[in-house]
Structure 1
Amino acid sequence: MIASSRERRLARRAAQGDRDALRELYEEYSEDLFAVAYRLTESSADARDVLHDVFSRLPKALRRFDRKRSLGPWLRAVTTRAALVRLRAERRRREVSVQDESLFGARRTPSVIDSIAFERALASLPEKLRTVIILKELQGYSHKEIGDLLGIPPSTSRGRLHTARAALRDALRDG
């Protein structure tokens, strides 16, 4: 992670349109943000598009960014919202992605949690359950934050998480 003073400096420069600062932010955060987008969209092509959307709009978004906050979690929230918007748009168009690439592309080595069995089990969950478990367990959001992001009460987030965990356990046990 970037040191906070450097992070604030880069965010300020990127907000002013400095391409070098934007590139540095991309180099620092793109792998993590791609992973968030991929897990939500289940498509590397869509995840790349989400990442492109996030970074192409980032200079303008950074003008509204509260620099007292940490940039990484904020970027993950922005990416999550962009991925969810994309999913909703895809659902409305009823297009089916035929892209089936590896989880992180060639640049990142998968960790234990990124195992094939886990990813398949995660992908088998309905979108509402998958989204909550990704945001809570893999991204560390609180139920209140998840509720704010998804427009649901925190209690609904808790319920979906409970259901998602049970479904994951069953899928991993059966798989």
Structure 2
Amino acid sequence: MDVYKVYKKYNKDFIAFAKSITDSEDPAFDLVQEAYVAALEREEIFNRMNEYQIKGWFFTTIKNKNIDNIRKRNRFRYIENIELFEATENFEENIHMKGILEDLPEKNKKVLLLKYGMNLNSKEIGEILGIPSSTVRSRLSAGLKILRKNL
């Protein structure tokens, strides 16, 4: 079945779904449009799919695009406000942990904050910092070694 026909037939369903996961109209329309553009870029994969498989692909793509957008927003929030390791309830432990983090080299601190503060993987961290994922892993290892030594 033609991607355009499925899109046209189920467009209202796609928008309703997008609204339900974004709680806002404008981002919902954007998600649906992004999914349609992605479908047009990969139109050849739909040749082997029936109407319901294509419809399912759209719903999955809309959901994944929304997750990607949330991650992007969270990354920018992280960069604007670097705070981490507030998990301990003991005031002295918080002060000690902040002191240890402040003593870390900046490159190691950034990697640790992205890894444990944002739960990002080494590839995602590398993209944010503009470094290879292997460098991210070595900086993470070095940073953890320093933290263990100072704890």
Q: Which TM-score applies when normalising by structure 1?
A: 0.45
Contact 1:143 1:157 in 2 (8 A): yes
Task: Assess, with a 3 A threshold, how the Cα gap between structure 1 residues 138 and 80 changes in structure 2: closer, same or farther.
Answer: closer
Distance 2:101 2:20 in 1: 36
Gaps of 5+ in 2: 1-17, 28-62
Deviation at 1:75, TM superposition (A): 1.7
Contact 1:130 1:164 in 2 (8 A): yes
Contact 1:81 1:149 in 2 (8 A): no
Gaps of 5+ in 1: 14-65, 85-102, 105-109
The amino acid across from 1:118 in the alignment is M
Equivalent in 65, 84, 100 of residue 68 of structure 1: 65
Is 1:122 aligned to 2:119, yes or no?
no
User: Which residue is 1:170 aligned to?
Assistant: 149
Contact 1:8 1:67 in 2 (8 A): no
The amino acid across from 1:112 in the alignment is T
Deviation at 1:11, TM superposition (A): 7.5
Equivalent in 153, 157, 161 of residue 132 of structure 2: 153
Deviation at 1:74, TM superposition (A): 2.3
User: Which residue is 2:26 aligned to?
Assistant: 12
Contact 2:22 2:66 in 1 (8 A): no
Q: Where in structure 1 do 4 or more consecutive aligned residues deviate above 4 Å?
A: 4-7, 81-84
What is the root-mean-square deviation of aligned Cα atoms in Å? 3.5
Contact 2:19 2:25 in 1 (8 A): no
Task: Assess, with a 3 A threshold, how the Cα gap between structure 1 residues 166 and 7 changes in structure 2: closer, same or farther.
Answer: same
Deviation at 1:69, TM superposition (A): 2.4
The amino acid across from 1:8 in the alignment is T
Contact 2:104 2:143 in 1 (8 A): yes
Structure number with the bigger relative contact order (C-alpha 8 A, sep ≥ 6) is: 1
Task: Assess, with a 3 A threshold, how the Cα gap between structure 1 residues 9 and 139 changes in structure 2: closer, same or farther.
Answer: same
- 5 Å matches for 1:34-73? 68-70=65-67, 71-73=69-71
Deviations 1:64-105, CA, capped at 9 Å, x for gaps: xx9822354222212244569xxxxxxxxxxxxxxxxxx79x
The amino acid across from 1:69 in the alignment is N
The amino acid across from 2:88 in the alignment is V
Percent identical among aligned pairs is 28
Equivalent in 99, 118, 141 of residue 139 of structure 1: 118
Task: Assess, with a 3 A threshold, how the Cα gap between structure 1 residues 119 and 171 changes in structure 2: closer, same or farther.
Answer: same
